[in-house]
Amino acid sequence: MTLVLGLETSCDESAVALVESKAGVFKVLSSQIASQIAVHAQWGGVVPEIASRKHLEALPHLIEDVFQESGLSISSVDAIASTVSPGLVGALLVGSVTARTLSALHNLPFLGIHHLEGHLASVLLSKVPLDPPYLVLLVSGGHTELIQVVEQGNYERLARSHDDAAGEAFDKVARLLGLPYPGGPAIELAAKEGDPQRFSLPKGRISRPGGGFYPYDFSFSGLKTAMLRRIQTFQDLGESLPVSDLAASFENVVSEVLVERSIQCALDRCMDKIVMVGGVAANVRLRGLMAKRCRENSIQLHLALKEFCTDNAAMVAAAGLERLKLGCASSSFDLGVSARWPLEESGAFYQDQVPF
């Protein structure tokens, strides 16, 4: 049995978890999250300085809570993992410094984790056997990407959003509709009573320099502008907004774009497994449509459990367990944090020569 303590502070969720690996099966012994949604909601988005301060306040209590809930102590831990990139630099520093300090005090390996690798590992917490290769749709507040997992630790990005991530588009459109932050859950709730076919909205494409379009890449800025114009039309006419229908139409077109391009990418690459992770992957309409299209195309669908779709430390600990399995003994205590770093180069976190 191997036990990893995971810390996640890349944005506005303070999270700590204990995850064990036994005979290749992951078990979450405790997962604690301190949400900052109420704090940032008044600003309509995350304020980095406030996020860092809240992480400092929350982490000591969360660490104490996971050990209390699990009935274990830090003497049982084999390694400590924390997110080091990408994310808000100040927020990342809080988790990274905490992890490195605990590692030094207790003579434990420190593992710096790439945030996206954490999301990729979240599906492993579902206890459903999954072996590479497979295609991952990673769709969250900050990222919308199609990634081929060639093998654990070996990734190839096949598509990305060229402007807003899907989750970011949900937040911005929710604000236009007068819905609260965060936008994803608010739009999903409003859309339940709406007609998803009432409004025709664009499915943004990215042009190639030499002509044509990138087949799988995403763009949501045009969709956001189309929603703004629809809303302004009602406002100019002095009519009340059909919020439910607008929310449902927006949610539907985002789901269709994500599913259509994921399926096409999998078919073109001859992959028969699709994995969906990230905060937006918890959306019911998206999960249902992806399941339907995968069945129609004889593709296996693996979904991260809803509680591990949004940012959490269990996924960070799971990524740490996978890195230990790959022979990555530890990261250097000199490893810092970075706002951006390519997922494909996350192996550099475990080398003597630190990348940042």
Task: Give the C-alpha distances (Å, rounded to integers) separating 131 from 123, 151, 301.
Answer: 11, 8, 13
Which residues face 301 on adjacent strands? 274
Token code pair at residue 242 = 């059909």
- Residue 353 and residue 343: Cα distance in Å, rounded? 18
203 residue type, one letter: K
The CATH number of domain 2-123+310-350, selected from 3.30.420.40, 3.40.50.1370, 3.40.50.300, 3.40.1350.10:
3.30.420.40
**pTM given for the model:** 0.95
Task: Give the C-alpha distances (Å, rounded to integers) separating 198 from 1, 203, 231.
Answer: 54, 15, 14
Q: Which residue intervals of the chain bear CATH 3.30.420.40?
A: 2-123+310-350, 130-308
Output the CA torsion sign for 290, 313, 116, 221: positive
> Tokens 């990261």 identify what position?
331
The CATH number of domain 130-308, selected from 3.30.160.60, 3.30.420.40, 1.20.140.10, 3.40.50.10490:
3.30.420.40
Output the CA torsion sign for 141, 143, 146, 150: negative
Q: Would you give per-residue pLDDT tens digits along the chain (356 residues)?
A: 999 999 999 999 999 999 999 998 999 999 999 999 888 888 888 999 999 999 999 999 999 999 999 999 999 999 999 999 999 999 999 999 999 999 999 999 999 999 999 999 999 999 888 999 999 999 998 999 999 999 989 999 999 999 999 999 999 999 999 999 999 999 999 999 999 999 999 999 999 999 999 999 999 999 999 999 999 999 999 999 999 999 999 999 999 999 999 999 999 999 999 999 999 999 999 999 999 999 999 999 999 999 999 999 999 999 999 999 999 999 999 999 999 999 999 999 999 999 99
Residue pair 175/181 in contact by the 8 Å Cβ criterion: yes
Which residues face 15 on adjacent strands? 8, 33
H runs (alpha helix) in the chain: 37-41, 48-70, 89-106, 115-122, 166-176, 183-191, 221-236, 243-268, 284-296, 313-325
- Residue 269 and residue 146: Cα distance in Å, rounded? 12
- Residue 310 and residue 160: Cα distance in Å, rounded? 19
Single out the residue of 24, 13, 12, 103 nearest to residue 318, CA to CA. Answer: 24
